[in-house]
Structure 1
Amino acid sequence: FAIGEFKFLRRLLLVHGRWNYVRQSKVFLYSMHKNMVLTMTLFWFSFFTAVSGCSPYESWVYSAFNFILGLPIIFFGILDRDLSADFCLSLPQTYSTGRTNVLLNIGSILQWIGNAMMYAVVVCLMSYNVLFPTFYFLDLYTAGTIVMIGLVIALQFKVMFFHHQWSSYQIHSMLFSFYAMFLFYMLIAASVDDYWNYAIMTYNEPITWLWGLFTVPFTAVFIDWFAYFSRYFLFPTQEMIYREMEKSEEYDDLNRLTCLSAQGSYRKPKHPQDSQDPHQRLIAQREIEMT
């Protein structure tokens, strides 16, 4: 592509380049995460079936997993912005997120893999162990559909959890994904012989709504909530600090004075301590740190 003037390069790199890196990194990590969770639920289920390879999911229900969860993460990858454009321009250090590959390094990927393992353990322990006596009174596909509903909603909650802003497109995609799941299972039950009428039987089970719609998803997302706020208060990342800076009064002063500096409204002191104005000392100190 061509850049008409070099002045456009600053915004292209510091704003759009960073936004794109953060969004696409999380899209990749989430896509890996959700497929790993689904695979691990099959792995743990195999121990209840003497490692026979039997699946609790009907093949169409299993195939619809990525289709149902696809739309919310697509809109996240297009529209989400973790920091405002003004903040990224006033504090160029934010570009180091992509330059140092903070979100796609080995440590970050291993954290997401560990999180996927925890999700699978929670879903399987709560669905296979806690509900195991109940499964004696339910057929295989009904029990599997209950597990799938809980898994899908838990992963939808995960997408909601790492959103930084919401637009009408993102809200509608989440609602569409939620209702499309139940509608799609109804269509499968009406057209596939092996799954005939299973959706109706599943929806008529009170445990579907108590367990699949509330208990499993909220328990799974509690893992993310606990991990995030533990790190937020104990070991905050640089991105967390940036988001707090954006909300603080210090950023408001810095942003205002950066605009004044661009307009030539104040004289830059040689050293921060040379100025009696605390605002000038602040922006001068920031400029020294940037260099």
Structure 2
Amino acid sequence: MATCERDALLEKLYDQMERELQLLGVTAIEDRLQEGVPETIALLQQAGLKIWVLTGDKKRLLEWQELRQILQSPDPMVSFFKGRQTELWAVDKGRTEGKTAIVLTGPELAEFDQRPDWGTTFMSLAAGCQSVLCCRVTPGQKAEIVTLVRKHTNSVTMSIGDGANDVNMIKTAHVGVGIAGVEGGQAVQNADFALSQFRFLQRLLLVHGRWSYRRISIFLRYFLFKTCGFALVHIWFGFLNGFSAQTLYENWFIALYTVFYTSTPIMLLAFFEQDVSSESSLRWPELYKIGQRQELSSPLLLSLSLLHAVYASLIFFFIPCGVFYNTAFDYQTMAVTVSMAATFTAIIEIVLVTRYWTKFNIAAVCVTFLLFFICTRITHSNRLFESAPKEYFFIGASEKAFADPVVWLTALLTACTAILPSMTAHALNVILTVRSKHKIHSTPLQPVELRSKMTRGTPFRRSSYALSQGAGHGRLITSTTSMRSIAMSLDQKVTASKNSTDKFT
């Protein structure tokens, strides 16, 4: 048994044995990509996503099968990461700029545990590449790569897999997507989202993902604005009443404001809001970068929403207070006026931020507007006051306030003044983005030919074929000749042959 130079001796032995062999058969297995994978990868790259491929295949297979699909180039530029050449990589970062892919192998990744600086160097180089491809990696190493990305970057990671060897990777990433296939359901059972094909990622990310980001961002900013603007009025009222814990609003308005008056329209917006259609979202994948740049939910925008709420609360209190000061109007009339102004402002704000109107959104806004007056009149009625005087002490306040034009003018003036910053911001947004929006909405959609994909002939034709070892009816299937005409021609040939036989005899 050899103890040294085993590889050389094995190669020599292989060369001696593999001679004068007779080839009995060859089996070729092709691991083909699913339908729509190249198009999906191209759209995701246009949307600003970086594609990392983690596979257990060999390096040579990865070069020819995956690189051309991912880089969308027939001759991609490939750079192989070698941990022992980290100094060279750090100096020559130009090698990883542009349409370049870094290829990392499993053995190189295994050395990252011993040399942590290699992981830092690798991530700094990967940041300038278009794609990263890792071959000959184990299921555990797939999860380690995802952990490495989460550790050294602030990116949101999404892992996509279809087999049991991808479970660790799917569970390690921020978002896991499982593709249902022939390799079992382990990936789907451990994923956040389940798809039947890879190409469905287009709609999951570019359509539903982008819509969800916009809906949640508007939802949070709207709730911050309308809740803080409604509640901060008590602080300004405290300076007037000496901080005696007396509330400005009626008790039932405080309870109904969030539950009935302002919740339904924003909830429906969170369900149905669309700034562009699904076709436009797929046609312009660059729109997905809005979420990557945090254009709708940045800390600055949240701070501006809070600042707008403070401004609105000041308007809610001081304009009615200035109008009713040293007049015959009492505290309850002022409370009803401030309540009207706060409700009107919340309704106008939801009208401004809604882009996609459905019958449910319109009904919610109208019902909310009417519900405020109905509930206010009910809570200020004499019957409820007689049943619980301490709870319903605003007896007749709304009836008196709704009949006074000064109250209506004050409430409308307060609401319009409070919503003025939001209207200005929306007007500037329309002016500054009118060209891009016109480009998106004016692009004609591809015409769709409404016809059946199955060509049918006479309704009386009933032909079917099955697999067999015979010659089959390939020519008949691919031709437009029916079996009835074939049968008629055969009968004619048989009749003609009989006639010729009779004549010969």
Work out which of the two has the higher radius of gyration on C-alpha atoms and give 1 or 2: 2
Is the partner of 1:47 in helix, strand or coil?
A: helix
More strand by share: 2
Q: Is 1:106 paired with 2:299?
A: yes
Question: What residue is the counterpart of 1:219 in the other structure?
Answer: 417
Q: How far has the Cα of 1:185 moved from its partner?
A: 0.8
Q: 2 CA distance for matches of 1:20 and 1:231?
A: 21
Question: What residue is the counterpart of 2:337 in the other structure?
Answer: 146
Q: Is 1:9 paired with 2:201?
A: yes
Question: What residue is the counterpart of 1:160 in the other structure?
Answer: 351
Q: 1 CA distance for matches of 2:435 and 2:307?
A: 24
Q: How far has the Cα of 1:167 moved from its partner?
A: 1.2
Is the partner of 1:104 in helix, strand or coil?
A: coil
Question: What residue is the counterpart of 1:173 in the other structure?
Answer: 364
Q: Which runs of 4+ in 1 moved over 3 A?
A: 230-233
Is the partner of 1:2 in helix, strand or coil?
A: strand
Question: What residue is the counterpart of 2:439 in the other structure?
Answer: 245
Q: Which has the higher contact order (CA 8 A, sep 6+)?
A: 1
Q: Is 1:208 paired with 2:400?
A: no
Counterpart of 2:376 (choices 174, 182, 185) is: 185
Q: 2 CA distance for matches of 1:122 and 1:163?
A: 24
- Assess if the C-alpha contact under 8 Å between 2:265 and 2:365 holds in 1: yes
Which ranges of structure 2 fall in alignment gaps of 5 or more residues?
1-192, 449-505
Cα deviation digits, residues 61-86 of structure 1 (max 9, x gap): 12111121111111111111011111
Q: Is 1:66 paired with 2:264?
A: no
Q: Which amino acid aligns with 1:152?
A: T
Question: What residue is the counterpart of 1:34 in the other structure?
Answer: 226
Which ranges of structure 1 fall in alignment gaps of 5 or more residues?
260-291
TM-score by length of 1: 0.78
Identity over the aligned pairs, expressed in percent? Answer: 21
Q: How far has the Cα of 1:12 moved from its partner?
A: 1.2
Cα deviation digits, residues 211-230 of structure 1 (max 9, x gap): 22x22222222221223323
More helix by share: 1
- Assess if the C-alpha contact under 8 Å between 1:82 and 1:243 holds in 2: no
Counterpart of 1:81 (choices 260, 270, 274) is: 274
TM-score by length of 2: 0.46
Question: What residue is the counterpart of 2:396 in the other structure?
Answer: 197
- Assess if the C-alpha contact under 8 Å between 1:69 and 1:177 holds in 2: yes
Is the partner of 1:124 in helix, strand or coil?
A: helix
Q: How far has the Cα of 1:150 moved from its partner?
A: 1.1
Q: 2 CA distance for matches of 1:128 and 1:148?
A: 13
Q: How far has the Cα of 1:203 moved from its partner?
A: 1.8
Question: What residue is the counterpart of 1:286 in the other structure?
Answer: none
Q: How far has the Cα of 1:45 moved from its partner?
A: 1.4
Q: Which amino acid aligns with 1:223?
A: P
Question: What do you get for the CA RMSD once the two structures are aligned?
Answer: 2.1
Q: 1 CA distance for matches of 2:262 and 2:427?
A: 26
Q: How far has the Cα of 1:125 moved from its partner?
A: 2.5
Cα deviation digits, residues 244-280 of structure 1 (max 9, x gap): 43234xx34xx559x9xxxxxxxxxxxxxxxxxxxxx
